[in-house]
């Protein structure tokens, strides 16, 4: 007897529809054959399935069993096939029958006692089920139900055991779909534990981060140890506009596919902040593996990627950032297939001016030799530096600033300014794929960043004296456009351009 039901398999962060076909036929020697490119975790499911069937009060088939996972060329590598395979076996052996099997896709891992265990990627599967014309909903382990329920237009049925799943699919047990609590999660958890008001002094650095947040620009901070670079970077997400539901779903499904979604957390509603250690590998940063998985740049999607002690990173690891910084996606190619992961993040990097960290510090003497300093800063290539829009110095904080009793500007005030500037950009780029000034194409720069003669002369002198590339020229214009938006000015004025040029001063000071 043949049974067929629907499930999903993860490929990267995307859920691909899979048909589970189970055929049982009489045979002298019982044997189970699993085909359809199953990986080790799927092959082992036959042992879990057999004991789950028996321990749930059903009869394990004592016949020849062929289980096919179609499409056959798609690798299947998760334990989420346990539940659909088990139900397929019960249907093919005549122990279970019901019309709901054709209306609901089934995913979930089983324990030996028949209870369900959570699985990765349920949010991606719910999104795929919502797009399907033939599916009414999704049967998932109860621990994953809240995650899948944030998707509108699909019923997510929580089950705690094989017996409960069978009861629902046969119509003997009614289970209410998990409620959609997306907007409740936004109202409860869209807060941060840190605030810009915690930072004393560093007004110039705060201004630069405000500009960066308003236009989506990348930032490099350079200063001695203890000047507040990490403290400032950790507070950058607090001045970015709140995540929209669409952005929250994009971010959450990456964490869900990686198995990094915290238990009990159905939706990520705050901007992610990722700060990998400088010993990270290429694959850990951009993604990879025999079965491609997202890296840190994808986990920072719609948020901030902070690289502290930038020169300490392997140079090859840093160079792989060049393409994602331009395209906002990263493609991992393998012999059989390629996978594209989103990587729309703000890069914030920090470094010391020299190996000891005290070059140009009036309070401490630097003992680094010129060759040592050149080797240190030479680890950062010119092409990578070109892709960082804003370079700022973060000097040591004076003692008088540390004693200030006047409260500093809170994140909420900065966030309002950022939101106003981004609203201007939303109207400017309506109808195009561009979202922020940092993403403007060359054609859009010519259209929206027109300069008068005085500004053109200033930019010409800056290009000549600092030896900037054509890419750096465009970066200056993008940053100047953002500064004008913060000022509410439709045109780029001389003061806007001057400030933007100042944010490239490290080109001349340290890399020329």
Buried b (16+ CB within 10 A) or exposed e, 17-46: bbebbbbbeeeeeeebebebbbeebbeebb
pLDDT value of position 396:
85
Asked if residue 270 lies in contact with residue 300, where contact means CB atoms within 8 angstroms, the answer is: no
Cis peptide before 71 (omega within 30 of 0): yes
pLDDT, mean of residues 127-138: 94
pLDDT value of position 263:
81
What's 130-167 look like in SS3? HHCCCCCEEEEEHHHHHHHCCCCCCEEEEECEHHHHHH
Average pLDDT, the chain: 91
The rounded distance, in Å, linking the Cα atoms of 38 and 302 is 34
Q: What angle do CA 13, 16, 22 make, to 5 degrees?
A: 135
User: Locate tokens 């000022």: which residue?
Assistant: 487
The rounded distance, in Å, linking the Cα atoms of 112 and 45 is 10
Asked if residue 217 lies in contact with residue 479, where contact means CB atoms within 8 angstroms, the answer is: yes
Asked if residue 447 lies in contact with residue 440, where contact means CB atoms within 8 angstroms, the answer is: no
Asked if residue 85 lies in contact with residue 7, where contact means CB atoms within 8 angstroms, the answer is: no
- Residue percentage of the chain with pLDDT more than 90: 67
Q: Positive or negative CA dihedral for 51, 52, 58, 61?
A: negative
Report helix, strand or coil for 106: strand
- Residue 244: pLDDT band (50, 70, 90) is very high
pLDDT, mean of residues 408-419: 93
pLDDT value of position 85:
96
Q: Considering the entire predicted model, what is its pTM? A: 0.90
- Residue 508: pLDDT band (50, 70, 90) is low
pLDDT value of position 511:
43
pLDDT, mean of residues 160-168: 97
Longest dimension (CA), the chain: 92
Say which residue, 377 or 458, is predicted with more confidence.
458
pLDDT value of position 397:
84
């Amino acid at each position: 007897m043949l049974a067929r039901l629907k499930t999903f398999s993860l490929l990267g962060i995307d859920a691909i529809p899979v048909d589970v076909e189970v055929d049982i036929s009489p045979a002298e020697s019982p044997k189970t054959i699993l085909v359809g490119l199953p990986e080790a975790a799927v092959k082992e499911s036959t042992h879990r399935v057999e004991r789950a069937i028996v321990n749930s009060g059903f009869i394990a088939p004592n016949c020849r069993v062929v289980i096919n996972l179609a499409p056959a060329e798609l690798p299947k590598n998760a334990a989420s096939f346990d539940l659909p395979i088990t139900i397929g076996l019960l249907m093919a052996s005549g122990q279970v029958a019901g019309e709901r099997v054709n209306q609901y896709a089934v995913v979930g891992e089983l324990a030996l006692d028949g209870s369900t265990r959570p699985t990765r990627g349920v949010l991606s599967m719910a999104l795929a089920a919502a797009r399907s014309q033939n599916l009414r909903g999704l049967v998932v382990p109860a621990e994953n139900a809240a995650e899948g329920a944030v998707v509108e237009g699909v019923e997510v049925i929580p089950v705690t055991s094989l017996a409960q799943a069978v009861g629902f699919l046969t119509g003997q047990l009614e289970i209410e779909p998990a409620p959609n609590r997306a907007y409740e999660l936004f109202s409860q958890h869209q807060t941060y534990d840190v605030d810009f008001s915690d930072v004393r002094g560093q007004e110039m650095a705060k201004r630069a981060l405000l500009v960066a947040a308003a236009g989506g620009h990348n930032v490099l901070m350079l200063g001695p140890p203890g000047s507040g670079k990490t403290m400032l970077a950790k507070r950058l997400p607090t001045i970015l506009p709140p995540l929209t539901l669409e952005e929250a779903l994009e971010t959450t499904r990456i964490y869900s596919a990686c198995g990094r979604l915290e238990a009990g957390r159905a939706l990520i509603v705050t901007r992610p902040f990722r700060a990998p250690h400088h010993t990270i590998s290429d694959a850990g940063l951009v993604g990879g593996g025999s079965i491609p998985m997202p890296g840190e740049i994808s986990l920072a999607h719609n948020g901030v990627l902070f690289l502290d002690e930038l020169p300490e990173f392997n140079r090859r690891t840093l160079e792989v950032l060049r393409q994602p910084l331009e395209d906002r996606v990263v493609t991992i190619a393998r012999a059989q297939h390629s996978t594209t992961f989103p990587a729309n993040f703000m890069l914030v990097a920090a470094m010391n001016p020299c190996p000891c960290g005290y070059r140009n510090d009036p309070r401490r003497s630097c003992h680094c030799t010129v060759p040592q300093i050149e080797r240190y800063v030479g680890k950062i290539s010119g092409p990578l530096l070109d892709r960082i829009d804003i370079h700022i110095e973060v000097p040591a904080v004076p003692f008088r600033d540390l004693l200030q009793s006047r409260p500093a500007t809170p994140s909420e005030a900065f966030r309002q300014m950022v939101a106003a500037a981004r609203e201007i950009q939303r109207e400017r780029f309506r109808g195009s794929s561009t979202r922020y000034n940092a993403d403007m194409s060359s054609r859009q720069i010519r259209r929206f960043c027109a300069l008068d003669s005085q500004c053109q002369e200033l930019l010409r002198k800056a290009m000549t004296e600092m030896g900037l590339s054509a890419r750096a020229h465009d970066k200056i214009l993008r940053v100047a456009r953002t500064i004008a938006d913060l000022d509410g000015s439709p045109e780029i004025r001389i003061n806007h351009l001057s400030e933007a040029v100042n944010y490239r001063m490290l080109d001349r000071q340290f890399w020329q």
